[in-house]
Chain A
């Protein structure tokens, strides 16, 4: 009989949870879920060695363990600190942690250009979310911000270093997903940057994943650049039979009408990809016929992407009738007569995620 694994009892913000030994505080908190989960900008559970750098996930360990109940002297990075049996952790219940996190957010934003209005990442940017939740409303920094030139690393990926927060995720991705890493962190301290040193394109069938792991708009999909705002698009789950053995072939298509604007991997509620996809799926399969569409992607209600603002919309003035001198345009097919879809009593804003025909079929 297999020996039963002893679970560690941990208390985070006074909520108890049992986890396996070797679990990090952050992952224990994710097991509980909700507001007590510390934000993480550099940790990525699928990337070995990631985490510990951004310091947004700092928490206070008020009791080390049952065996050694002393509190830890400093705040610790919850993503890289493993739980002990009987450990007690304070995140949102600790003013000290909140204060430190506010400081970290200020530091991260210090040299950030805050160019969200022209940034393709806006709407799905972790730094944006973080600064809304934990940041101050103005900056105290009065000096010139550090800037870099935009560079294209290949014809599909653009590096906008000015926005980078140096989370190192893309470096880990290249190390662990591709045969040969060609970009890395150059320079030191404030002058550190992601780059290739000698300008060159990154050439590998999995390098596109750096776009998905980037928490900010530093690495963006050039094929999607300025094409659309993410919250105007309808994300749908889709899959195809990809021949690359490392690629799962399961993606999200970001569509408007019949047009596929971009393809990304499927991400969980912490913004991490569920499974990696290859660059062929990401960049080259931009037609609906390439894919089997499974249905709408469920997006967290809090996300701007799921905000279908259908309530209180004023019907625009119908100019067609006007230019047709009052004649009604002839409808080829009046959908109301053949479909049950049109049910005005359904409040779209109450539906979880983007609307789907199933929502209308429920009686």
Chain B
């Protein structure tokens, strides 16, 4: 059994409620931080832990916190990003639904560290029942003196508010989230200035993912140094992975970042292997926007080593032969799945979710979707594949926010690794509507560490 830090008590009956949570050591970290540590000391522990943002980008949390500006007389804000919308990702939902107090305790410690007295949880609008759970937990915490004025007699004040979004993936981008929280359209801001200097209502703001903020609790409990002993290298601690697709046991798993991808997919502790006795064809290990990998490159790196479930392990080989840990949305495709169709659904997703502010993303995402539709419907041309490649290349890196990159990468990776499947669709349009390309050579052992074509 892998070691757990967030879900170690998740199985306890009634852990959703304050009394049970508290009886099992809950708010112990907050007590320690507020009563016996200075904010700088807490920050030091978070820095030592090596905790990296769990929302997708993997930026060191301690460093992000140290950037916050502290002008006199200006309030600072902590915003919790619970706008979990990346296809394949549903880990924060699980955490908020089942252990809401873990998040609230994390918010309390983080707000204390950053010197914030108001904190907003921005949760995606579709999770319509979760605000009730969170608000109930907030009320419980307040009743027991963990929120409100003069918390536990320490003189520290904190209010936590829950704000629902209303259906926009883009609001997961921190500046779009801030705009939305200000009651505006979710158009990402042009950076700089960064939120740490000018964020919510032009005040210094830190935006962190739910899992990141929850992870602060075990860091304080066991200490930053101890936390850093979990995992491998710069991938410290544990990570929540939401596994879905054609596997036997879809769900949210907490893994210590020291296991291999193979173990994660096939061991009974986690995904339990591919469903219905099928074979693995491909996998998108970090949410829809990270590059898709064929089975052979997923399990082994181009150098022939075991691929590990860490930030570095999944990124090994760069985009040519690697991918990213991203937000931990682990999507598995079996041999019966069609890569073109899967890529099309992602292109459709990004087209639907583009805010429309900057031109490459606004126009390019729709174009890619339409070209992919043609290929999928048997109306594609060989030149369309190169066209797609060119479109994604012109979107990537040229947009205001990372949604452009997120839209470009899945298309690029699908063509990079599955070009023959696209070509088969073009050459056999009739057949392609009746059956799928199948596993082909995508699980064959890699012979040499050759960079893929294109």
Contacts and interface: CB of A to CB of B under 8 A. Distances in A.
Given A52-B400, A77-B190, A106-B394, A192 B356 contact: yes
- What bracket does the count of chain B residues touching chain A fall in? 20 to 34
A166 B367 contact: no
Interface string A43-83: 00000000111110010000000000000001101001000
Given A75-B398, A100-B398, A188 B354 contact: yes
Interface stretch (B14-22, B210-218, B357-365): B357-365
B353 interface: yes
Contacts of B355: 188-189, 192
B362 A192 contact: yes
A271 interface: no
Contacts of A192: 355-356, 362
From DSSP, what is the main secondary structure of chain B's interface residues?
helix
B362 A189 contact: yes
A83 B26 CA distance: 50
B35 interface: no
Interface in B371-395: 387, 393-395
B351 interface: yes
A53 B360 CA distance: 9
A108 B359 contact: yes
Given A166-B362, A190-B366, A74 B351 contact: no
B190 A107 contact: no
B229 interface: no
A141 interface: yes
B360 A190 contact: no
B370 interface: yes
A68 to B, nearest CB: 14
Interface string B151-192: 000000000000000001000000000000000010000100
Contacts of A108: 359, 363
B352 interface: yes
Nearest to B353: A189
Contact of B356 (A99, A106, A188): A188
Contacts of A191: 356
Given A52-B400, A140-B387, A190 B394 contact: no
Nearest to B168: A188
A59 to B, nearest CB: 12
B354 A165 contact: no
A104 B360 contact: yes
B148 to A, nearest CB: 37
B407 to A, nearest CB: 11
B353 A55 contact: no
Interface string B388-428: 00000111011110000000000000000000000000000
A51 B357 CA distance: 11
Contacts of B352: 189
Q: Report, nearest first, the 3 A-B pairs whose CB atoms are least far apart.
A: A103-B394, A192-B356, A52-B190
16 contacts: A53-B358, A53-B400, A54-B359, A55-B358, A58-B398, A103-B393, A103-B398, A110-B363, A140-B387, A143-B370, A165-B359, A166-B359, A187-B356, A189-B365, A190-B351, A190-B363
Given A107-B359, A185-B356, A188-B355, 4 more contacts: A104-B360, A107-B362, A108-B363, A192-B362
Interface of A: 51-55, 58, 74-75, 77, 80, 99-100, 103-104, 106-108, 110-111, 140-141, 143, 165-166, 185, 187-192
